[in-house]
Amino acid sequence: MKSGPGRAEPADTQSKAERHLEVAGVTKRFGSTVVLQDLSIAVGSSEFVSLLGPSGCGKTTLLRLIAGLLVPELGTISVGGRDLTRVAAHRRNIGVVFQNYALFPHLTVAENVAFGLKAQRVAKPEIEQRVREALALVRMESFGDRSVLALSGGQQQRIAVARAIVVKPSLLLLDEPFSALDRKLRETMQIELRHLLRELGITSIFVTHDQDEALVMSDRIAVMNEGRIEHLASPSEVYSRPRTLYVMEFVGQSTRIAGRVAASDRGTIAVDTPYGQISAAGSFAPNTNVVVGVRPEAILSGENADAGFNTIRAKLFDVVYFGPKTNLLFEAKAPADHLLMEIARLPQALTAGRDVALRWRIEDTMVFPAP
Amino acid sequence: MTTIATKSMATHAKERRTRFDSKALLALPGLLFMTVAFAVPVILLIIESFAGPQGPTLDGYRKVLADNYYVGIIWNSIKLALITTIATLLIGYPAAFALARARGVLQVVLFALIFLPLTVSIIVKTFGISIMMGRGGIINWLLINLGFIERPMRLVFTEFNLYFGMINVFLPFMILPLYSSMRMLDTRLADAAASLGAGPLYAFTRVTLPLTMPGVIAGVSLVFSITVASYVTPSLLIGDRFMTMSQVMAKAYLNIRDFQLGASMAVVMLVIASIIVVAASYLARAPKEGR
Amino acid sequence: MARVGMIFCWAMLTLVLIFLFAPIVIVVAVSFSPSTIFSFPPDGFSWRWYSAILSNEPLLTSVWLSAQVAFLATCASLTLGTLCAIAVVRGLVPAGKAIATFMASPLMLPGLVLGIAFLQAARGAGLRDAYTTLLIAHVVITMPFVMRTVLASLAHFDFAMVDAARTLGYSYPRALWKVLVPNILPGFVSGALFAFIASFDNYPVSIFLVDVRTKTLPIQLLNQLEMSPDPTVAAASALLILGTVVALIICDRLVGLRRMASI
């Protein structure tokens, strides 16, 4: 299911569960700056969707709008069929895990977790039991009486999650919850959280600027740019068949070559580039300026007589070793071009300065209108 | 990894600044109250100082600034402030230095002891000082027993009494800012100066003193601006024998009811106090702009 | 020579402490003197002046009045000041820094000037009730103390906590109460303490606003000193000192004097 500006979803083709969260036509302004423009997105029940984009793209604003901490100028926000647009934040029952956790330093761990339950005036014995269960879920059972200030980053993060889920929210929002953790811990926590949320079946929206994180954790990714969703699809779809040039460049690495359409015939185009002619699927009129893209791991070196391949020639100028992989950088003939190839092991014959033939399957070629 | 920063951090910051939240109204009651209850009366006072029976006039200022009697009084206030400030600086500087060097519990206790007199009412302190100055008081007792004088002398309502009291009341106001800036002084700097061959006096004048200048400026401006306007201590300890601007103002309003005189004097006092504050903030900024 | 320098500094500190506490100690000593003469050293010990306080009606009334005014003024400036400080710290209002400076500026003016300004304005506005005028003036006087300490405390406060409390079920005002107030308590308490003391001890502003029936304690004490001086004043002063010390100790227990002093 794809969503984007100006595309209205036919309501009857989707079941209620698929539209557990529905954001429709939301516009948000700060003073004279428009941060979100006519944005729509629907998230299904128990789904995990990431909002991925650079700082300033509006992803945190969208999150805060859903939470009720901000009110949109236009548009509606509904959860479970209930219009929440004008409902105050404290009545939405939407859980939020904040970037720096926002734990209450004047309360113990258990009191932090019990906070939302107290607000709902749950009976004391029930509070104690639910707090215990929540702490067990995040594997922090023995920490109840501790001060939150004595916890490590990872521990604080888990308490923040426990606090948000103990109130059984209809939706869980997470604002870059792992950004303050170091890499190894981050990877562990990502997997842990994913399992936990899947087990509980909570619908989750996750904000991040780290595309690796989004790829690992999400059922679907919404790639955002300047207040708009450029592509909303599964991770593999976003990676292999990005909808726009921006998405291709933001998610993963890519080889990009600018060219002009020479010929177009029955869904296939031929693009002239300084490195050779490239074929791709697409329907652009001749003489259109386009950008051709390929994922670096799809590129192979050497000529091949098979018809299904695009072949170009380029001069190797740098080799970058990453451990499990090596990146080969080739000289670009135009300033906006970027020629990158990824391989597991460097063949001895390939040294800097050599003129190399590069090939890849025609169906792996992506074409976009030039910006 | 290619991250394309489309909206830069600058825009992000702009978003925060241009946000208008209904929560901005939080500031309103406080702001409104202070404007009505504080800004308006002060402005009215300034206007009042120009008010005459037939429209705006400078008569009040003419009286205050041209009449020798009143000029003498303004000079009294300034003299009082100058002497108090210099005295508290000379006494307070070494005391603050020792306080800043204290460690651990001792420092906390000493700090509390310097701080405590500030919380005691100025009337209580001034009262205590006037008792000390009586013929049977401790100052006379000390002077006699140390052999300086033979019979108790009259100390009350003298300038000695006044300055004794002023220094007593305002010493903490000088010590606290000095202490603040001395606490940040790196003791190793004096050691470094010594290792480079500087004698203690040289190290003091060339290293310690310049680095504590911000504290000195803060203390001096604070004490001067308060003492030039002080009322309770002068009127209790010396009364009419040493007229200050504050006493003139009080008399003008409470006794002779010459409101324009009082208002003009008040504005002069305001101007003097403001000059000190502005000069102090200018001086405090100048070293950072690179000499 | 540096050694001599340090000894000199410590000697000065000791002398300064003696000097600062001398009047206070003397007042307390005189309050126990059995005679009406203010002499030191005192020749005896007596509680008579303390019991004299109990029958001194004008004095007791003025204590009650000062306490009322100080308490109400402090509460008012705590509320107004904290709300304003929140708006300033969150960048919700334009020229926040200027507003904060404005709210704290009464402290920069000579008290006397303020008192005169209030008197004029009250008269001009036709406000004849001394109690009300006094109250309003004291809110203005106490505001700078609250603003300075609360602003400093808020600077260290993570407002995401208020958002967290809201998403967990508390409305904005209740969230502030449950999460903001407990965490800025040092600033709150020290601001409230300084504000209370400033109001209770205030002379320059109050002198212009009291009338025959409405006198605050400092005014009353001074009147008594002028008209019928006896050590009752010393006894009342000694009790005042005791009260201040007790208040400081309570604050230390609640919040920690070290934390307060650093703010």
Best to test chain C binding among A98, A149, A166, A205 (most C CBs inside 10 Å):
A98
Query: What pLDDT does A229 receive?
Result: 93
Alpha helices in chain A (DSSP H): 59-67, 109-119, 124-137, 153-165, 183-200, 211-217, 235-240, 245-250
Query: What pLDDT does A2 receive?
Result: 44
Residues contacting residue A318 through CB under 8 Å, at least 6 positions apart: A328, A329, A352
Q: Positive or negative CA dihedral for A141, A144, A150, A156?
A: positive
CATH number at residue B83: 1.10.3720.10
Inter-chain contacts counted by CB atoms under 8 A, chains B and C: 251
Q: What are the φ and ψ backbone dihedral angles of A341, each rounded to 5 degrees?
A: -130, 140
Q: How many Å lie between the alpha carbon of C74 and the closest alpha carbon of chain A? A: 25
Residues in B closer than 8 angstroms to A226, CB to CB, are 6-7
Nearest to B232 by CA among C211, C205, C232: C205
| CA atoms of C96 and C102, how far apart (whole Å) | 10
Q: In chain A, which residues touch C (CB < 8 A)?
A: 67-69, 88-96, 98-100, 102-106, 115-116, 119-120, 163-164, 167
Residues in B closer than 8 angstroms to A250, CB to CB, are 2-4
CATH C-level class of A11-245: alpha beta
Burial tier of C21 (Cβ tally within 10 Å: 0-12, 13-18, 19+)? middle
Give the pLDDT band of residue B23 (cuts 50, 70, 90).
low
Tokens in use for C244?
Answer: 């201040």
Q: Average pLDDT in the B24-41 region? A: 84
Model confidence pLDDT, tens digit, residues B79-134: 999 999 999 999 999 999 999 888 888 888 888 888 888 888 888 888 888 888 87
> What is the helix, strand, coil percentage profile of chain B, to 5?
80, 0, 20
Tokens in use for A327?
Answer: 């990146």
Q: Average pLDDT in the C2-25 region? A: 89
Q: How many Å lie between the alpha carbon of B73 and the closest alpha carbon of chain C? A: 16
Tokens in use for B176?
Answer: 């606290």
Residues in A closer than 8 angstroms to B23, CB to CB, are none
User: What is the number of domains present in chain B?
Assistant: 1
Residue of C nearest to A31 (CA): C92
Which residue type sits at A245? L
Query: What pLDDT does C235 receive?
Result: 85
Query: What pLDDT does C257 receive?
Result: 55
| CA atoms of C76 and B30, how far apart (whole Å) | 9
B18 has pLDDT over 50: no
A33, A225, A250 member nearest B2 (Cβ): A250
For residue C244, what are the β-bridge partners? none
Best to test chain C binding among A61, A64, A69 (most C CBs inside 10 Å):
A69
Residue A121 CB neighbours (<10 A): 8
B5 has pLDDT over 60: no
Look at residue A357 and give its three-state secondary structure: strand
Interface membership of C160 toward B (CB under 8 Å): no
Sheet holding A33-43, edge to edge: A33-43, A21-30, A74-79, A82-83
Residue of A nearest to C185 (CA): A106
Identify which has the larger pLDDT, B144 or A88: A88
Q: Is residue B23 part of a domain?
A: no
Residues in B closer than 8 angstroms to A55, CB to CB, are 5, 7, 9, 12
For residue A30, what are the β-bridge partners? A33
Residue of B nearest to A252 (CA): B1
Identify which has the larger pLDDT, A86 or B10: A86
Q: Tokens 């406060």: give the residue.
A: C157
Nearest to A343 by CA among A361, A322, A362: A322
| CA atoms of C199 and C205, how far apart (whole Å) | 10
In chain A, residues under CATH classification 2.40.50.100 are 253-369
- Cis ω before C182 (30° cut-off from 0): no
CATH number of A253-369: 2.40.50.100
Q: B61-65, B96-100, C35-39, C148-152: which has the minimum mean pLDDT?
A: C35-39
For residue A279, what are the β-bridge partners? A270
Q: For residue C178, what is the DSSP state? A: I
| CA atoms of C75 and A155, how far apart (whole Å) | 39
C17, C92, C261 member nearest B21 (Cβ): C92
- Note the pTM of the prediction, 2 decimals: 0.72
A66 touches C167 (CB < 8 A): no
CB contact under 8 A, A90 and C167: yes
| CA atoms of C101 and C95, how far apart (whole Å) | 10
Query: What pLDDT does B289 receive?
Result: 46
CB contact under 8 A, C117 and B42: yes
C158, C169, C182 member nearest A119 (Cβ): C169
CB contact under 8 A, B30 and C103: yes
Residues in C closer than 8 angstroms to B141, CB to CB, are 40
CB contact under 8 A, B37 and C204: no
A31, A225, A226 member nearest B19 (Cβ): A31
Best to test chain B binding among A37, A55, A62 (most B CBs inside 10 Å):
A55
Report the interhelical angle of B40-49 vs C111-124 (nearest 10°): 90
Which residue type sits at A259? G
Tokens in use for B211?
Answer: 């680095």
Of chain C, the percentage scoring pLDDT greater than 70 comes to 94
For residue B265, what are the β-bridge partners? none
Burial tier of C55 (Cβ tally within 10 Å: 0-12, 13-18, 19+)? exposed
Model confidence pLDDT, tens digit, residues B176-227: 889 888 887 777 777 787 777 777 777 778 778 888 888 898 889 889 988 9
Q: Is residue B184 part of a domain?
A: yes
ipTM exceeds 0.95, yes or no: no
Residue of A nearest to C159 (CA): A102
In chain A, residues under CATH classification 3.40.50.300 are 11-245
CB contact under 8 A, B11 and A211: no
Give the pLDDT band of residue C258 (cuts 50, 70, 90).
low
CB contact under 8 A, C161 and A95: no
Of chain B, the percentage scoring pLDDT greater than 70 comes to 88
How distant, in Å, are the alpha carbons of B15, B73, B80, B261, B276 from that of B65?
52, 10, 18, 11, 19
Q: How many Å lie between the alpha carbon of C18 and the closest alpha carbon of chain B? A: 10
Residues contacting residue A149 through CB under 8 Å, at least 6 positions apart: A105
For residue A171, what are the β-bridge partners? A94
C141 has pLDDT over 80: yes
Nearest to C74 by CA among C148, C145, C179, C149: C145
CB contact under 8 A, C183 and A69: no
Inter-chain contacts counted by CB atoms under 8 A, chains A and C: 62
A244 touches A230 (CB < 8 A): yes
CB contact under 8 A, A90 and C169: yes
C109 has pLDDT over 90: no
CB contact under 8 A, A106 and C169: no
Q: How many Å lie between the alpha carbon of B16 and the closest alpha carbon of chain A? A: 8
Residue of B nearest to C40 (CA): B137
pLDDT tens, N- to C-terminus, chain A (371 residues): 444 444 444 444 456 667 889 999 999 988 888 999 999 999 999 999 999 999 888 999 999 999 999 999 999 999 988 999 989 899 999 999 999 899 998 899 999 999 999 999 989 999 999 999 999 999 999 988 888 888 998 899 999 999 999 999 999 999 999 988 888 889 889 999 999 999 999 999 999 999 889 998 999 999 999 999 999 999 999 999 999 999 999 998 999 999 999 988 888 999 999 988 999 998 888 999 999 999 999 998 887 777 888 889 899 989 898 889 999 999 998 888 999 999 888 877 777 888 888 999 999 999 999 88
B7 has pLDDT over 60: no
Query: What pLDDT does A164 receive?
Result: 94
Residues in A closer than 8 angstroms to C161, CB to CB, are 102-104
Q: In chain A, which residues touch B (CB < 8 A)?
A: 30-33, 35, 54-57, 209, 211, 225-226, 246, 249-250, 253-254
Considering the domain delimited by C58-262, tell me its CATH architecture: Orthogonal Bundle (1.10)
Best to test chain B binding among C1, C7, C12, C133 (most B CBs inside 10 Å):
C12
C161, C166, C179 member nearest A90 (Cβ): C166
The string of DSSP codes covering A289-309 is: EEEEEE-GGG-EES----TTE
Best to test chain C binding among B31, B32, B228 (most C CBs inside 10 Å):
B31
CB contact under 8 A, A54 and B7: yes
Interface membership of C49 toward B (CB under 8 Å): no
Residue of B nearest to C15 (CA): B95
Nearest to A341 by CA among A323, A329, A324, A355: A329
Q: How many Å lie between the alpha carbon of B27 and the closest alpha carbon of chain A? A: 19
CB contact under 8 A, A57 and B20: no
Q: How many Å lie between the alpha carbon of A54 and the closest alpha carbon of chain B? A: 6
Residues in A closer than 8 angstroms to B1, CB to CB, are 211, 253
Q: Is residue B78 part of a domain?
A: yes
By DSSP bridging, strand A255-265 and strand A228-233 are unpaired
Query: What pLDDT does C37 receive?
Result: 66
Long-range CB pairs of B12-16 (<8 Å, 24+ gap) are: B12/A55, B12/A56, B14/A30, B14/A31, B14/A33, B15/A30, B15/A31, B15/A33, B15/A35, B15/A56, B16/A30, B16/C91
